[in-house]
Amino acid sequence: MAYWLLKTEPEDYSYFDLERDGSTVWDGVNNALALKHLRTMLPGDLAFIYHTGKERQIVGVAEVTSQPYADPKFNDAKLVVVDVRALRRVSLPITLAQIKQDGKFTDFDLLRLPRLSVVPVSDFYWQRLSDLTSGTN
């Protein structure tokens, strides 16, 4: 199992929309590196859902439920999507500022590549973020 962080504009599609819908096609990714990450996702992988814009915080956890496949909206095999389903809201949303202040995230791609919309999360970072979002610091 791999871990990810998926960014979304909450005004366009929020984690709460995902909860309401139950599942969705995770689309709209067009950055080459983000698409490379999408292509490596497998069913059962977990992802933090991160609201961008004014919020800039982790708000929920989702599960990848499909293999990557060509985006049905486009006739371009390079553009891929995956299906995801909502798992749970986090107990304590963690802001980008809090992540930056925590000295354990110096090599985290969320900080190193801030415009990347699909970010791999190492086991160590997943555990640390899980601890922070559950309040067990």
Domain ranges of the chain: 3-134
- Indicate the pTM of the whole model: 0.96
- Sequential pLDDT tens for the chain (137 residues): 999 999 999 999 999 999 999 999 999 999 999 999 999 999 999 999 999 999 999 999 999 999 999 999 988 889 999 999 999 999 999 999 999 999 999 999 999 999 999 999 999 999 999 999 998 76
Cβ neighbours of residue 101 closer than 8 Å, sequence gap 6 or more: none
Q: Is 135 exposed, middle or buried (0-12, 13-18, 19+ CB in 10 A)?
A: exposed
CATH of domain 3-134: 3.10.590.10
Distance CA 34, CA 131 (A): 26
